[in-house]
């Protein structure tokens, strides 16, 4: 039944609108969309919220310029000399992109605006990648509960408080307050050009946090659903030929999610709109505490969509950890957002799951897999050598068991002293740039971690990203063979070692 199933994709969070750690050259060389693993399983999630922000300046142009002349002469390389102040009403133009910043480097911006920039010129992402632009992966993630005692004590207002009016969404970001309305948003996404790009419509998640202490939560939740629907319809009407994802908000309330879904379906059914619809995007799904409700939300919404709109896709914008990635996949979502490769790299950890054992077993006898397979329940890896088929190169590579492959929760912590003299790669058999041919040993990366070198994070990120893509590949296959649950257990057991 799943022969026509789409391959699972990881939506890698690119939070400042650039791929974490990787230069365009590296991206092109090692994560090229021409490679099957990348083409089938990697999508880049470009977050517009901060990446598209341009500072605005008040009309003190002359005085600022005089000061600047005295102080420095190195700026304004490509800013035109008669550039004008950028404002919210500025017409989008790629040529004008940086003029404000370059001319007024030393002056303090009086505000920020959210204007479009062309993807290839600014974000340096090689063409050919599958890209989804999102207003923010999760607005509530930024919410720091200003009413908490701790914040009150400190008199701290320096927190991100999302709010909204029927017309606009108001966010406080590291670049200042931003008011985003539909017109502005559509202008932004129209300014983003790339070969395979689609856009999540502007959504209002500002009021649907169940844990924000608000008593009339239900009413606010409905308000957020209504606003999201009206903004989405607006986006669909104005954005002509752009591919749009319809956001599904509704917090952790199943009924609310269903009504959001009904709204989405009515938007899709609306004449002239459905050709532009790429699919549905679940917002704030990872905040739902109960695993059952998480699964119910996805399954109910997808089953509402399936009969009529079978070709539409689904994306969960953000997840917490591998478990949620697999849950979403099992529920039928085909694109899953995560920033796990970066999070792990930042804490000096390398993902180290035994995917090769799964392959070795699955090659033996797929039907008998459930009975035959068992994981070693000690922390050391006791497998003998395996023959495996590498998906990317098509070569057969002999994998030896790594006797010192001691993992906790499926990851290696490169902070640990035991790796100081360990000359094996992060993961034997891994074909990523960091591990391939054993060119970077655990000892070397441990040393980099110890000396706080950024290179440690870079190498770990590369490995983690590659390894998660391989996991997506295996999970995709397993679901296709009806072995999704089994694979889920297989991975989960390793994470609990
Ligand atoms: Zn690797």
CATH of the domain at 268: 3.20.20.105
Q: Ligand 1 mean position to 282 CA, how many Å?
A: 31
Instruction: Judge whether 132 lies within some domain.
Output: yes
Cβ atoms of 302 and 333 within 8 Å: the answer is yes
Q: Ligand 1 mean position to 461 CA, how many Å?
A: 9
Instruction: Judge whether 4 lies within some domain.
Output: no
Beta bridge mates, 201:
none
| Domain end call among 306, 338, 370 | 338
| DSSP track, 294-313 | HHHHHHHHHHHHTTT-TT-E
| Structural domain count, the chain | 3
H or E element: which one contains 219? helix 217-238
* Residue in 154, 320, 104 with CA at minimum distance from that of residue 328: 320
Structure tokens at 170: 């108001």
Structure tokens at 160: 């991100």
pLDDT digits 0-9 by tens, 234-255: 888 888 888 999 999 988 889 9
pLDDT at 212: 52
Instruction: Judge whether 3 lies within some domain.
Output: no
* Residue in 31, 53, 233, 226 with CA at minimum distance from that of residue 125: 31
Residue 213: which pLDDT band, with cuts at 50, 70 and 90?
Answer: low
**333/398 Cα distance (integer angstroms):** 34
Q: Ligand 1 mean position to 15 CA, how many Å?
A: 23
Helices assigned H by DSSP within 306-419: 321-330, 340-346, 355-364, 369-372
Instruction: Judge whether 2 lies within some domain.
Output: no
Phi, psi of 254, rounded to the nearest 5 degrees: -60, -45
Q: Ligand 1 mean position to 241 CA, how many Å?
A: 40
Question: What's the whole-number average pLDDT of the chain?
Answer: 75
Which 8-state DSSP code applies to residue 176? E
Which of these ranges, 99-113, 162-176, 445-459, has the smallest mean pLDDT?
99-113
Q: Ligand 1 mean position to 332 CA, how many Å?
A: 28
Residue 177 sits in the same domain as residue 196? yes
Residue 385 has pLDDT above 60, yes or no: no
Q: Ligand 1 mean position to 432 CA, how many Å?
A: 4
Instruction: Judge whether 488 lies within some domain.
Output: yes
Q: Average pLDDT, stretch 39-59?
A: 78
pLDDT digits 0-9 by tens, 328-347: 999 999 999 999 999 999 99
Give me the percent of the chain exceeding a pLDDT of 70: 65
365 versus 46: the higher-pLDDT residue is: 46
Residue 250 sits in the same domain as residue 203? yes
Residue 67 has pLDDT above 60, yes or no: no
Name the residues around ion ligand 1, CB cutoff 5 A.
430, 432, 434-435, 463
Instruction: Judge whether 174 lies within some domain.
Output: yes
**428/68 Cα distance (integer angstroms):** 56
pLDDT digits 0-9 by tens, 7-29: 899 999 987 677 899 988 898 88
Residue 150 sits in the same domain as residue 221? yes
Cβ atoms of 21 and 461 within 8 Å: the answer is yes
| Domain end call among 338, 366, 384 | 338
Stated length of the chain: 497
Structure tokens at 2: 């799943």
Q: Average pLDDT, stretch 162-171?
A: 79
H or E element: which one contains 487? helix 484-495
pLDDT digits 0-9 by tens, 439-494: 899 999 999 999 999 999 999 999 999 999 999 999 999 999 899 999 999 898 88
β-pairing, 163-164 with 130-134? unpaired
| Domain end call among 114, 135, 163 | 114
Residue 262 sits in the same domain as residue 317? yes
**212/437 Cα distance (integer angstroms):** 50
Q: Ligand 1 mean position to 438 CA, how many Å?
A: 9
pLDDT at 240: 80
Q: Ligand 1 mean position to 337 CA, how many Å?
A: 21
Residue 148 has pLDDT above 70, yes or no: no
**42/442 Cα distance (integer angstroms):** 26
Residue 363 sits in the same domain as residue 262? no
Residue 103: which pLDDT band, with cuts at 50, 70 and 90?
Answer: very low
pLDDT at 75: 39
Residue 149: which pLDDT band, with cuts at 50, 70 and 90?
Answer: low
Q: Ligand 1 mean position to 305 CA, how many Å?
A: 38
Residue 168 has pLDDT above 70, yes or no: yes
Residue 287 sits in the same domain as residue 375? no
Residue 260: which pLDDT band, with cuts at 50, 70 and 90?
Answer: very high
pLDDT at 276: 87
Residue 293 sits in the same domain as residue 371? no
Residue 195 has pLDDT above 70, yes or no: yes
Residue 263 sits in the same domain as residue 152? yes
pLDDT digits 0-9 by tens, 346-359: 999 999 998 877 87
Residue 83 sits in the same domain as residue 141? no
Instruction: Judge whether 343 lies within some domain.
Output: no
Report residue 423 CA to chain centroid gap: 33
Domain hosting residue 61, numbered range: 53-114
Q: Ligand 1 mean position to 318 CA, how many Å?
A: 24
Instruction: Judge whether 1 lies within some domain.
Output: no
Q: Ligand 1 mean position to 194 CA, how many Å?
A: 29
Residue 28 sits in the same domain as residue 62? no
| SS3 assignment, position 417 | helix
Q: Ligand 1 mean position to 467 CA, how many Å?
A: 6
Q: Ligand 1 mean position to 257 CA, how many Å?
A: 39
Q: Ligand 1 mean position to 428 CA, how many Å?
A: 8
Residue 362 sits in the same domain as residue 478? yes
Residue 135 sits in the same domain as residue 253? yes
pLDDT at 113: 66
**464/347 Cα distance (integer angstroms):** 12
**424/75 Cα distance (integer angstroms):** 48
Q: Ligand 1 mean position to 414 CA, how many Å?
A: 14
* Residue in 318, 257, 245 with CA at minimum distance from that of residue 284: 318
């Amino acid at each position: 039944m799943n022969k026509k199933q789409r391959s699972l994709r990881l939506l890698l969070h690119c939070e400042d609108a650039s791929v974490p750690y990787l230069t365009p050259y590296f991206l092109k060389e090692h994560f090229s969309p021409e490679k099957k693993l990348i083409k089938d399983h990697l999508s880049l999630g470009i977050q517009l919220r901060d990446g598209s922000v341009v500072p605005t300046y008040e009309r003190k142009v002359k005085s600022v310029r005089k000061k600047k002349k005295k102080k420095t002469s190195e700026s304004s390389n490509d800013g035109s000399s008669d550039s004008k102040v950028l404002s919210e009403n500025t017409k989008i133009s790629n040529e004008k992109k940086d003029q404000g910043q370059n001319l007024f480097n030393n002056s303090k911006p009086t505000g920020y605006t959210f204007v479009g920039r062309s993807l290839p010129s600014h974000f340096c992402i090689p063409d050919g990648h599958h890209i989804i632009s999102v207003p923010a992966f999760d607005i509530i993630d930024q919410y720091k509960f200003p009413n908490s005692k701790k914040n009150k004590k400190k008199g701290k207002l320096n927190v991100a408080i999302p709010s909204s009016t029927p017309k606009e969404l108001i966010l406080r970001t590291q670049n200042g307050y931003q008011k985003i309305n539909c017109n502005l948003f559509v202008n932004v996404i129209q300014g983003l050009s790339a070969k395979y790009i689609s856009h999540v419509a502007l959504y209002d998640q500002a009021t649907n946090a169940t844990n924000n202490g608000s008593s009339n939560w239900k009413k606010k939740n409905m308000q957020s659903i209504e606003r999201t629907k009206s903004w989405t319809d607006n986006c669909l009407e104005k954005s002509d030929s752009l591919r749009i994802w319809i956001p599904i908000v509704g917090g952790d309330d199943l009924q609310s999610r269903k009504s959001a879904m009904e709204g989405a379906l009515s938007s899709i059914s609306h004449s002239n709109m459905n050709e532009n619809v790429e699919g549905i995007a679940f917002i704030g799904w990872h905040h739902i505490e109960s695993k059952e409700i998480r699964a119910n939300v996805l399954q109910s919404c997808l089953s509402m969509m399936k009969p009529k709109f079978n070709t539409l896709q689904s994306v969960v914008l953000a997840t917490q950890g591998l478990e949620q990635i697999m849950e979403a996949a099992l529920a039928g979502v085909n694109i899953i957002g995560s920033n796990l490769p970066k999070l792990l790299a930042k804490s000096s950890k390398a993902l180290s799951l035994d995917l090769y054992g799964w392959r070795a077993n699955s090659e033996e006898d797929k039907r008998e897999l459930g009975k035959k397979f068992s994981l070693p329940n000690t922390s050391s890896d006791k497998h003998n050598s395996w023959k495996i088929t590498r998906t990317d190169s098509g070569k057969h590579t002999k994998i030896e068991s790594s006797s010192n492959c001691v993992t906790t929760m499926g990851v290696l912590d490169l902070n640990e002293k035991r790796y100081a003299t360990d000359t094996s790669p992060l993961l034997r058999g891994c074909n990523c740039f960091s591990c391939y041919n054993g060119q970077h040993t655990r000892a070397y990366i441990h040393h980099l971690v110890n000396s706080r070198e950024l290179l440690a994070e870079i190498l770990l990120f590369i490995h983690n990203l590659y390894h998660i893509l391989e996991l997506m590949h295996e999970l995709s296959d397993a679901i296709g063979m009806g072995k999704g649950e089994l694979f889920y257990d297989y991975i989960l057991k390793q994470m609990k070692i």
